[in-house]
Amino acid sequence: MANVGIMGAGSWGTALALLLHSNGHQVTVWSISEEEVKMLSEEREHKSKLPGVPIPEDMAFTSDMEETVKGKDFIVMAVPSPFTRNTARGMSPYVTDGQIIVDVAKGIEESTLMTLSQQIEQEIPNADVAVLSGPSHAEEVGRGLPTAVVIGAKTKKTAEYLQEAFMNQVFRVYISPDRLGMELGGSLKNVIALAAGIADGMGYGDNTKAALITRGIAEIAQLGVKMGGAIESFTGLTGIGDLIVTCASVHSRNRKAGYLMGQGKSMQEAMDEVKMVVEGVYSTKAAVKLGKMHDVPLPIVSKVNDVLFAGKDPKEAVNELMLRDSKAEHLAMPWKEE
């Protein structure tokens, strides 16, 4: 049995806390909000984010960061991506050498273009930072529905330790050494999910969504491999798997925000209605910058950026995507000589 600290009491942090508790671990969950701590401690249910899912009486909630971090066998970092750096900075004094931190959020910092694990390592250089990613909506994990994810770590020893801690009969865990590829896939798929949602909101069909998913993973993989990620990460659970679920699911906040924008709402109106952090919005500008930096064309990502931040009409953006210069689907496939 491990003693685990969970940083973040949102839907994902709470769902993973329940999972780890069901595996026999002792769990303490931190929230920055005293009001949220009080609600969870007294009502034993996260009614706004995981309604109908009971929370065990012996799961502790606190707003004391030191209590959550100090002496724990590993820490789960489940705060929304825009708050990862500041949370890591606050945790830093309490983290001991080699203490494991598992980041489970997804995003890229616009100002530095760092992944979340890179941000954590910069703020807490003595930590052993791992990542957990894959197609895994909190609403389903919290209810115990079968799910498969990947844990990436610097060493196989850490990956296997975490694999054993998280895995059970409804939560299958694979391991990988490719943290970078996993994080890029998990972050950039949120941008494509915004595009899929916009298309749904405009009344487009399954053909459109299939095209966005397929061409979207092509963009993500091309950039990710250029940056040093492994192609297997983009063809597996942390790439195409995560992209499919985020583009198609009713639980996806990115798809929902896109859907609302496709119906004519502004980015801010859509984010306000979703009432949770729409991480794709924060990753879009960073993705555009990475594409330019590595000389990789990202047509879908670029059009999403235009819709979000340049006031482009979504229908015009779709028309521009469809009417781009004609090309082969896979440039690496040669023609036979006639």
Instruction: Please identify every residue annotated as catalytic.
Output: 189
The string of DSSP letters for 7-66 reads E--SHHHHHHHHHHHHTT-EEEEE-S-HHHHHHHHHH-EETTTEEEEE--TT-EEES-HH
In contact, 314 and 300? CB cutoff 8 Å: no
Distance (Å) of CA 235 to CA 134, 177, 219, 240: 12, 15, 12, 5
Distance (Å) of CA 168 to CA 24, 165, 222: 11, 9, 34
Distance (Å) of CA 74 to CA 69, 93, 165: 8, 15, 10
Nearest to 151 by CA among 137, 141, 166: 166
Separation CA 35–CA 52 (nearest Å)? 20
Distance (Å) of CA 99 to CA 27, 94, 96, 273: 16, 10, 5, 38
Write down how long the chain is.
Answer: 338
The dihedrals phi and psi of 53, each to the nearest 5 degrees, come to -105, 110
Separation CA 270–CA 257 (nearest Å)? 5
Q: What angle do CA 111, 299, 294 make, to 5 degrees?
A: 50
Q: Which long-range contacts (CB under 8 A, 24 or more apart) does 209-214 make?
A: 209/247, 209/248, 212/247, 212/300, 213/240, 213/243, 213/244, 213/247
Listed in order, strand segments (DSSP E) in 58-146 are 60-62, 74-77, 100-103, 128-133
The dihedrals phi and psi of 152, each to the nearest 5 degrees, come to -110, 140
Read off the DSSP letter of residue 180.
H
